[in-house]
A and B are shown apart, each in its own frame.
Chain A
């Protein structure tokens, strides 16, 4: 069996139950007969080893005739590195929320205003692909090059290896440097029982938390109180949008609701707010300021405020050069899953170029699922849902073993469709236990070495795109739809439409703290850009165009992996298809 690629070697080792150090894999790949090398490494690996290290490999490759090199030294290694993943246990999710505002002072001066320029280019296809690296063409060269490179460096290494191998190989990926915390995860904490009261609690929580954001900007009076105010007085109200409709004469009537009742605001067409009205979605939180009509029956609006992201938002950042791959929508099990593109991606992860990629953040739809749409079984390569996750786990094994992975479920996954979606049940978790991936709820905030990444699968994007005018949100520029969600500080504001809501004790869909990066998927289109300093990324997919997409005119961006620099928040998109 030819094992030409790093990913395949990793997978082969995984098949035998081993994780592997990146370096070890590189060594194996450069061996004259890598298949044989893998075999002998597996044969000779100590019984208690969980992880194949470069030492193991060298023990085999350097001197095959010599029997087991140094069982003691190689034996210690696995245990120490084995502690790595454990360090970032899912348990430590608590105080993540607080981190956002206290950005480490170290990088505050250097960063934010200047650097976005490179990635920001707001933009049609051409423009936005500026940072895109096409690996397909260069792939072969790339890998061979890098292989020889690493082979060289390996030989270098080998020479002085014997003396201080431990110190040398460790710095590559020091688990101690990693920081990963999860906030807003509701997995295992779904307390709603589907009662009316749960719904009320959810919406009240939304109102309370979002109105807090707006309170500083307007002098809010409750709906009840406004109705009692004398006509002609100035008033402001914060509320959830209850109704929006246009009047016969071309004005708009926006009805806001707070906990005391509703009050209508009239937005005149000549106030210059028309553009804003277009953006209003039902059930989002808004503030309106204006003058009461003479009979106090209606508020003539002068201005309208969204909770929004403050323009002064300061982003966090890692204090070392480290990267995260932001991907989503793998859709394993579908006839259209692009296994080759995926393997090019994982191959690349094994190259030195990908060395800094220590994190993978996966925004849902790991598998194609079952029963997502009628007669889906006819388009499934793997019909069994558990087999789909098994297969996905296999594909995940191609990823370098020491990569930190965080995943949230999507609408194709085997969890409830209603949002927030908790992470998977134990049965499916146990299938996907490779790499000790963390599986958290959709949405959730992942803080990676100081960078807050809000991960949300993105079902509401469909609705935002449907409701808003083309120039504000479209499938070709999914990040613009994401800007809207940031502006509304809620990942799925509209109730009663496409988005399904599961009532909980709080509204987990509120964006209470401004993230540094907002990462979604779902619409299978690639797009990114910055909104008030927040990087919004919709990360494409790994599934070729389906018949359904063809029928509704969607051409997916498949096989791209956006790679985020966690220290600078610069992003590069790599193409693997």
Chain B
């Protein structure tokens, strides 16, 4: 680590220590459930693992092993320790296996996610039919957050422990094997799996796996075939089990095999069959040669040439990469292209538009590179494009993409090409300026091209996706230009030469003189026009006239369409197409400056004519043009909108200021003041019978629900009294309390009469506030924690006063979509260079001293940029914390913030859902984009990437003071999303390794671009481009994150996606379909069809089903009835009972859906489904005998 980095971390830790001391002093007063801070600091991963699991000695052993071996190996090594009892204090064999499995999962998830504690419920020993014992691992839903590898390895670890303990293998019954297959298929249907094993695969796994996988039912949907099995406790799908079997074992078989090979005790030979993919294919065995060959062809891999020789119809290569099949060799070739994929269009919903149909021309053009606010599952879009897609895209909006991964967060990058549009006045123009985009937006008739889409190399590595052919762009051209002999450096220094945007003459001259491909600025998209159109255009240009330097050619459908496809800027008048910059176009068409066509029809070779079935004129161009012309944009990336970006405070619903229970007394608003004034039968106000914890004062032995004895002012302890026999019990080491006599769990919660009125009034008095200080103070109906310890109402009073609300664990949180950024300018963060210097930034990215607000500086790994909303929220939280310290704990104010600049340098916690570890971050600035920009390593430390994920920030002191494990709900998943431990510094080796694939080079070499044309494997060029992984473990690991593309401001484009600013669903959908009509790359009929198919139909069908089997509810007291009471009225209160699903909610989309289906010409199948549904609705909601009532009935 460099001294500079040392200083950085020391600075953070100093501030953390300061806060710690203050918080400690506050906690010692005993007002809180525990008299100490409840978020321990973890120095490293080993600490986190130990803290999360609560198993002593794990950290030490992990550190010992870490130097010697990989984490996976360490996990296996620890199994021995657990079995021998040197780590963990387990008596039973099942306990030993459980400890080992949990530890393995914790290790593999870097001790961050909640899977090891929440995802594994228990391990038990059961009996095989032959009387031997086997191990059953009982998984729960949260195992999902562990990821496939850790899931799979948990099974391996269990098996290893099993064999060391001499327990037998699981011998499944046939019905159980069948059950696995049915259940996994059911789960996939209901919830969806990343990888769906075929039935045969599922059965194969079930038959061979030496451990029984079991788990909790996670959905209501039940299997219909193999039910009521003796050893399977539920008929529902067990989500955890399905995940482990499908996404773990089936998907990660190769990874597990690596470890089984090294272990003598564990032998899983069957994995090989899974890896080979021979399960579930016809033939199955390798014995049959023909079958084997058929498999090969179907898989599309390998020796297709041999197959061709035998006249095999199916061409392996063709199926694999999407190139035109060359069966027989007589057929002409086509260009190498990535195969279009429809997948991202699945589950399209109303209101979220499609931007590009799969690989459709006119859509986003793939450009390689990484902008400074880019990488780690994001895609760079030009801000002008964001505006021209009717503001549906904003920084942080998630899009589902065709490739390389599944989803991206959108980031604004203006150093790439913008969109090309046709305006109502006939002008076709490329828009590279967001302001211009906003000006002309209303006049746009058609968006001919969406501009470029920036994807970094690391994305392809991470997704292991073959490199798709690159667009021909400046950074590639300039390297070719240099290689062709040009003195690029001299030209760069020459103020008269603009290498990136040269004049026409220069560009043509360079192409001629250096024999270098034509500059991309003047390279048109010849691959998008047919040879026929190319010839027609060449003739039209040859027949055209040049008037005042502008070429006018005849306007025909062909020529206009060709120019629009080529993205040649021009103006269409009623009878002519006027092209101002026409010479590169003419030259490319083989027409000279005198408009003489230099070639005859017969000059084109048959190969050029038939290239890609004549649909691609690029070969023809190269045969007639006087220079080489590269394919401008061979790869288009299909995508559609996913989730909108997010930046809003996390409120429970209804919002909560204080975790104090008030039953129903506060009304639907849960108003504490109202509850405090409710009068009971005896005339007392605010006396409530609530379930709260029973605590006892160590001094006076009085019982109270408060954490501090009101009389003695000392901290009280929970009082565990067995409800049956009255024995007072003590918690054991693990914190569990069991009655020794009745052998059940004892809790400290009891129903007590609480004088809320008094509690509320005294809380106000304690902090010296009046009721008028806030509008409303909201409590909760009841507490969900095990011992139901309430929070001091004082905290709620101060929250209400400062306008913040509490999350279930007592913290104040703000959610933001994650985006990465590696270099920032002070001015775009609304801070000054001085601010940054104050917090330790000294130089810009080029090593120059930091003096100006527009200098680019490299962001530190734990520094984060708050959205405007987050900053405002943090200010309120800081005020709340300061008030709390001063008015409640009687300590000095800590933050003393006046304006948001004061937050720069303050510490926060970053914390992602499904995890249990917070990461300390430092505020560096602010952005108007509704996202949380931070270093990719910071996001990775929270185990997030940036493909639309969101997580929260908390103010450091708020977390230290107000978080308590005691508040956490006592249910599955209750410990998720709670800061059980904090990491004070990021070790790049101990974060989600996806972040290591972010490339950090400042440019991509020419060889890389060449490799993309071959659709090479990304790993074949890994030596050419530096990625984060390359600096891991070196002094350079915390800095040197270069980028290839700059962007003017990381907050460009709309502040909010139109999805969030538009009104109801109908408005959104209208906008979506309107946009579909406008974009050339989108087929609006398909969009309409999909919206109906994936959104409207499921909604109507679902609501119709819900209607005919619905619950009912009393309008007066809220009592719910599974079925309508025969009495008609509420059995509890006699009130009016009504339906929960009404005609309105069933009908709401029918008319729209039918109208959309008509307007966009959907398939008859879709229309008929709608018609059948409409008639069903009529049949249910209309009275047949009333229907025909018309005037005739009354005559």
Task: Using CB atoms and an 8 Å cutoff, list the residues of chain A in contact with chain B.
Answer: 188-197, 199-200, 203-204, 207, 240, 242-243, 257-262, 282-283, 369-371, 377, 383-386, 414-418, 422, 425, 462, 466, 469-470, 495-502, 551-554
What residues on B are CB-neighbors of A497 within 8 Å?
1109
Known: A370-B1169, A371-B1173. 16 other contacts (CB 8 A): A188-B1185, A191-B1186, A192-B1180, A194-B1107, A240-B1126, A258-B1126, A370-B1172, A371-B1165, A384-B1168, A386-B1168, A416-B1179, A418-B1176, A495-B1109, A495-B1123, A502-B1179, A551-B199
Closest residue of chain B to A462 (Cβ to Cβ) is: B224
- Using A191-B1183, A502-B1108 as known contacts, say yes or no to A196 and B1124 having CB atoms under 8 A apart: yes
Interface residues of B in 1064-1119 (CB under 8 A from A): 1097, 1101, 1104-1105, 1107-1112
Bound Cα distance from A192 to B1097, whole angstroms: 24
Closest residue of chain B to A498 (Cβ to Cβ) is: B1109
Is A260 a contact partner of B1127 (Cβ separation < 8 A)?
Answer: yes
As a 0/1 sequence over residues 1164 to 1190 of chain B, the CB contacts with chain A under 8 angstroms (1 = contact) are 110011001101110111111110000
Bound Cα distance from A197 to B1122, whole angstroms: 15
Tell me the smallest distance from the CB of A47 to a CB of chain B, in Å: 37
Tell me the smallest distance from the CB of A297 to a CB of chain B, in Å: 16
With an 8 A cutoff between CB atoms, is B1138 at the interface? yes
Bound Cα distance from A188 to B1176, whole angstroms: 13
With an 8 A cutoff between CB atoms, is B222 at the interface? yes
Bound Cα distance from A197 to B1137, whole angstroms: 10
What residues on A are CB-neighbors of B894 within 8 Å?
none
Is B182 a contact partner of A203 (Cβ separation < 8 A)?
Answer: no
Is A414 a contact partner of B1172 (Cβ separation < 8 A)?
Answer: yes
What residues on A are CB-neighbors of B1177 within 8 Å?
416
Closest residue of chain B to A421 (Cβ to Cβ) is: B1179
Is B1184 a contact partner of A194 (Cβ separation < 8 A)?
Answer: no
**Option from A196, A261, A384, A495 in Cβ contact (under 8 Å) with B1138:** A196
Interface SS majority for chain A:
loop
Closest residue of chain A to B1138 (Cβ to Cβ) is: A196
- Using A259-B1127, A414-B1172, A415-B1176 as known contacts, say yes or no to A496 and B1111 having CB atoms under 8 A apart: yes
- Using A191-B1184, A466-B224 as known contacts, say yes or no to A416 and B1107 having CB atoms under 8 A apart: no
**Option from B199, B1126, B1169, B1173 in Cβ contact (under 8 Å) with A204:** B1126
Task: Give the number of chain B interface residues (Cβ < 8 Å).
Answer: 51
Closest residue of chain A to B1142 (Cβ to Cβ) is: A194
Pick the most buried of B228, B1122, B1123, B1139: most chain A CB atoms within 10 A of its CB: B1123
With an 8 A cutoff between CB atoms, is B1060 at the interface? no
With an 8 A cutoff between CB atoms, is B740 at the interface? no
Is A194 a contact partner of B1143 (Cβ separation < 8 A)?
Answer: yes
What residues on B are CB-neighbors of A207 within 8 Å?
1126
Bound Cα distance from A240 to B228, whole angstroms: 27
Bound Cα distance from A283 to B222, whole angstroms: 21
Bound Cα distance from A189 to B1126, whole angstroms: 23
With an 8 A cutoff between CB atoms, is B227 at the interface? yes
Pick the most buried of A259, A261, A370, A502: most chain B CB atoms within 10 A of its CB: A370
**Option from B222, B1169, B1179 in Cβ contact (under 8 Å) with A415:** B1179
**Option from B182, B1164, B1183, B1186 in Cβ contact (under 8 Å) with A551:** B182
What residues on B are CB-neighbors of A417 within 8 Å?
1104-1105, 1108, 1176
What residues on B are CB-neighbors of A203 within 8 Å?
1123-1124, 1126
Tell me the smallest distance from the CB of A507 to a CB of chain B, in Å: 12
Pick the most buried of B223, B1111, B1137, B1168: most chain A CB atoms within 10 A of its CB: B1168
Tell me the smallest distance from the CB of A30 to a CB of chain B, in Å: 43
Closest residue of chain B to A239 (Cβ to Cβ) is: B1126
**Option from B1105, B1111, B1172, B1179 in Cβ contact (under 8 Å) with A385:** B1172
Tell me the smallest distance from the CB of A77 to a CB of chain B, in Å: 39
Bound Cα distance from A193 to B871, whole angstroms: 53
**Option from B1104, B1122, B1165 in Cβ contact (under 8 Å) with A377:** B1165
Tell me the smallest distance from the CB of A366 to a CB of chain B, in Å: 14
10 residue pairs, one from A and one from B, having the closest CB atoms: A500-B1108, A371-B1169, A416-B1176, A553-B225, A416-B1179, A418-B1108, A194-B1181, A199-B1124, A552-B225, A259-B1126
Closest residue of chain A to B1122 (Cβ to Cβ) is: A496
Tell me the smallest distance from the CB of A481 to a CB of chain B, in Å: 14
Tell me the smallest distance from the CB of A306 to a CB of chain B, in Å: 19
Q: List 16 A-B contacts (CB under 8 A).
A: A190-B1180, A190-B1184, A191-B1183, A193-B1181, A194-B1181, A204-B1126, A240-B1126, A371-B1173, A384-B1168, A417-B1104, A496-B1109, A499-B1109, A551-B182, A551-B185, A552-B182, A552-B224
Bound Cα distance from A28 to B1105, whole angstroms: 51
Is A371 a contact partner of B1172 (Cβ separation < 8 A)?
Answer: yes
Interface residues of B in 224-277 (CB under 8 A from A): 224-228
Is B1109 a contact partner of A422 (Cβ separation < 8 A)?
Answer: no
What residues on A are CB-neighbors of B1173 within 8 Å?
371
Is B1137 a contact partner of A196 (Cβ separation < 8 A)?
Answer: yes
Is A418 a contact partner of B1180 (Cβ separation < 8 A)?
Answer: yes
With an 8 A cutoff between CB atoms, is B1128 at the interface? yes
What residues on B are CB-neighbors of A425 within 8 Å?
1175
Closest residue of chain B to A369 (Cβ to Cβ) is: B1172
What residues on A are CB-neighbors of B227 within 8 Å?
466
- Using A200-B1126, A497-B1109 as known contacts, say yes or no to A190 and B1179 having CB atoms under 8 A apart: yes
Tell me the smallest distance from the CB of A457 to a CB of chain B, in Å: 15
Is A191 a contact partner of B1124 (Cβ separation < 8 A)?
Answer: no
Interface residues of B in 1133-1147 (CB under 8 A from A): 1137-1139, 1142-1143
**Option from A195, A243, A385, A462 in Cβ contact (under 8 Å) with B1168:** A385
With an 8 A cutoff between CB atoms, is B7 at the interface? no
Tell me the smallest distance from the CB of B1134 to a CB of chain A, in Å: 11
With an 8 A cutoff between CB atoms, is B851 at the interface? no
**Option from A200, A371, A422 in Cβ contact (under 8 Å) with B1179:** A422
Tell me the smallest distance from the CB of A119 to a CB of chain B, in Å: 29
Tell me the smallest distance from the CB of B175 to a CB of chain A, in Å: 10
What residues on A are CB-neighbors of B863 within 8 Å?
none
Bound Cα distance from A385 to B1175, whole angstroms: 14
With an 8 A cutoff between CB atoms, is B549 at the interface? no
With an 8 A cutoff between CB atoms, is B311 at the interface? no
With an 8 A cutoff between CB atoms, is B1033 at the interface? no
Is A200 a contact partner of B182 (Cβ separation < 8 A)?
Answer: no
With an 8 A cutoff between CB atoms, is B178 at the interface? yes
With an 8 A cutoff between CB atoms, is B1131 at the interface? yes
Is B1165 a contact partner of A370 (Cβ separation < 8 A)?
Answer: yes
What residues on A are CB-neighbors of B166 within 8 Å?
none
Closest residue of chain A to B1125 (Cβ to Cβ) is: A257
Bound Cα distance from A285 to B227, whole angstroms: 27
Bound Cα distance from A556 to B1137, whole angstroms: 44
Closest residue of chain B to A262 (Cβ to Cβ) is: B1131
Tell me the smallest distance from the CB of B1164 to a CB of chain A, in Å: 6
Pick the most buried of B1112, B1138, B1184, B1186: most chain A CB atoms within 10 A of its CB: B1184
Is A553 a contact partner of B178 (Cβ separation < 8 A)?
Answer: yes
Bound Cα distance from A338 to B710, whole angstroms: 82
What residues on B are CB-neighbors of A466 within 8 Å?
222, 224, 227
